[in-house]
Amino acid sequence: MKKDFLTLLDLTSEELQALLRRAAEFKSGKDVSACPLMGKSIGLMFNKTSTRTRISFQTGIYQLGAQAIYINTNELQLGRGESLEDTARVLSRFLHGIVIRTYEHSTIEKLAANSTIPIINGLTDLHHPCQALADVLTVRENKGRLRDVRMAYIGDGNNVANSLIEAALLTGIDLVLACPKGLEPDSMVLENARSGGAKVRVLTDPAEAAKDADVLYTDVWISMGQEKEVERKKKKFEGYQINRRLVSLAKPDAIVMHCLPAHRGEEITDEVLDSPRSVVIDQAENRLHTQKALLEMLVK
Ligand code: CP
Ligand code: NVA
């Protein structure tokens, strides 16, 4: 039975812990000669731009002994009206897995329902689970644990925030989000995590969220595909910038995270992003190690 990774909750807590252990092993360089995916082909289907996701998957797939096939969907017959269902059925006969980045989450659900190979979510408007894998590894590396680590996410209640909420459910991270009114995370994601026992609070005051935090996290205010909403959204983010003042409210050893790309001077200042507290480049590197562990787990 194939297994997809459409949201973080496609993994159990135990599977996530195993994946983190394996990612750390890959990172340590112990297993450099292992090519568990020798001879396989993984499609990378992107409808939005990407630096980290695309290149980390492409490199990781090569390191696992497989080949990555980058697919610009406009160059497929899909762009001329072939159905997603037929595309999924046909690609399942050639490939051993597909990483897809697109807009509506329902698109990847449809792709997964019609494929016989694992489908991996490389970001949708609703979730960014591969990012959350790297995020939890980064927190664990810096804080030595996940349970009860106080994370303050300050900004837009977007795909990254939704996946962090699911990470809180699986790991015991104590997550406080500060989001402007009307820009809260997805209510179903939130409700589901809370009913499973996750420690997740949603506030509107960034200072209250930042107080005594172990981790400060932010993401862009305008996500890919929301370019028409710039004026409406930006007004709401006054006071939500991670800057020196907000950092001073967190614990003295707090780290600063951002999934990148950053809009410097908007959601975060240069000063904070480039400070010794910032772990954003390690966080980006961890995309490679965690995704290799994920591919090894899913692609048979
Ligand atoms: N964080 C992240 O997913 O970056 P890219 O958009 O560059 O892939
Ligand atoms: N929320 C951002 C994340 C980019 C990696 C977006 O969807 O554009």
Q: Please check whether residue 87 lies inside any domain of the structure.
A: yes
Compute, in degrees rounded to 10, the torsion defined by CA atoms 73, 185, 270, 129.
-50
Cα–Cα distance measured from residue 273 to residue 280, given in angstroms and rounded to the nearest whole number: 8
Tell me how far the alpha carbon of residue 53 lies from the centroid of ligand 1, in angstroms.
5
One domain, residues 150 and 91: no
Do 159 and 253 have their domain in common? Answer: yes
Which residue in 154, 177, 156 sits closest to 165, CA to CA?
177
Q: How confident is the model at residue 211 (pLDDT cuts 50, 70, 90)?
A: very high
Q: For residue 297, what pLDDT is reported?
A: 97
Expressed in angstroms and rounded, the spacing between residue 142 Cα and the centre of ligand 1 is 21
Residues contacting ligand 1 via CB (< 6 Å): 50-53, 123, 131, 259-261
85 assigned to some structural domain: yes
State the catalytic residue, choosing from 128, 140, 150, 277. Answer: 128
Domain count, the chain: 2
Q: Within this chain, do residues 147 and 257 fall inside the same structural domain, yes or no?
A: yes
**Which ligand has the shortest distance to the CA of 222?**
2
Confidence at residue 291, expressed as pLDDT on a 0 to 100 scale: 98
Same domain, residue pair 114 and 17: yes
Residue 1 lies in a domain: no
Q: Let me know if residue 82 belongs to a domain.
A: yes
pLDDT tens for 254-272 read: 999 999 999 999 999 999 9
Q: CA–CA separation, 268 vs 243, rounded Å? A: 6
| Cα-based angle 175, 149, 180 (whole degrees, multiple of 5) | 25
Co-location of 279 and 291 in the same domain:
no
Residue 157 has pLDDT above 90, yes or no: yes
Spell 221-257 as b/e; 16+ CB within 10 A means b.
Answer: bbbbeeeeeeeebeeebeebbbbeebbebbeeebbbb
| Same-domain check for residues 209 and 237 | yes
In this model, does residue 165 exceed pLDDT 80? yes
The CATH number covering residue 163 comes to 3.40.50.1370
- Whether residues 13 and 59 fall in one domain: yes
Place of tokens 């997550």: 175
pLDDT of 174 higher than 80: yes
- Tell me the residue range of the domain where 28 lies: 8-128+286-299
Q: For residue 149, which amino acid is it?
A: V
Q: Ligand 1 mean position to 287 CA, how many Å? A: 9
46 and 57 belong to one structural domain: yes
CA–CA separation, 38 and 65 (whole Å): 4
Task: Based on the fold, state whether residues 273 and 140 are members of the same structural domain.
Answer: yes
- pLDDT for the residue numbered 41: 98
User: Does any domain span residue 228?
Assistant: yes
pLDDT for the residue numbered 239: 96
Q: From atom 2 of ligand 2, which residue's Cα is the shortest distance away? A: 223
User: Taking the model in full, what pTM does it have?
Assistant: 0.98
Query: Is 45 within a domain?
Result: yes
Residue in this structure with the two tokens 């979730």, named with its chain if needed? 127
Q: Are the C-beta atoms of 52 and 46 separated by less than 8 Å?
A: no
Rounded Cα–Cα distance for residues 187 and 70 (Å)? 34
3-state secondary structure of 115: coil
pLDDT digits (tens, 9 = 90+) for 85-117: 999 999 999 999 999 999 999 999 999 999 999
Predicted local confidence at residue 30, as pLDDT? 81
Is the same domain home to 42 and 151? Answer: no
271 & 138 share domain: yes
Q: Alpha helix locations (H) across the chain?
A: 13-28, 52-63, 84-94, 105-113, 129-143, 159-171, 187-195, 206-210, 230-234, 244-249, 270-273, 280-298
Q: What is the pLDDT of residues 35-92, one digit of tens each?
A: 999 999 999 999 999 999 999 999 999 999 999 999 988 889 998 999 999 999 999 9
Does residue 273 share a domain with residue 240? yes
In this prediction, residue 145 carries a pLDDT of 98
Q: DSSP assignment of 48-66, as one string?
A: S--SHHHHHHHHHHHHTT-
Lining residues, ligand 2, CB within 6 Å: 123, 158-160, 219-220, 223-224, 259
Please give the structure tokens belonging to residue 88.
């999924």
Mean pLDDT of 218-231: 96
Q: Is residue 272 part of a domain?
A: yes
Query: What's residue 300's pLDDT?
Result: 82
Q: Has residue 258 been placed in a domain?
A: yes
Average pLDDT, the chain: 97
Q: In what order do the strands lie in the sheet with 200-203?
A: 200-203, 174-178, 150-154, 215-218, 255-258
Confidence (pLDDT) at 85:
98
Q: Which of 96, 219, 283, 291 is catalytic?
A: 219
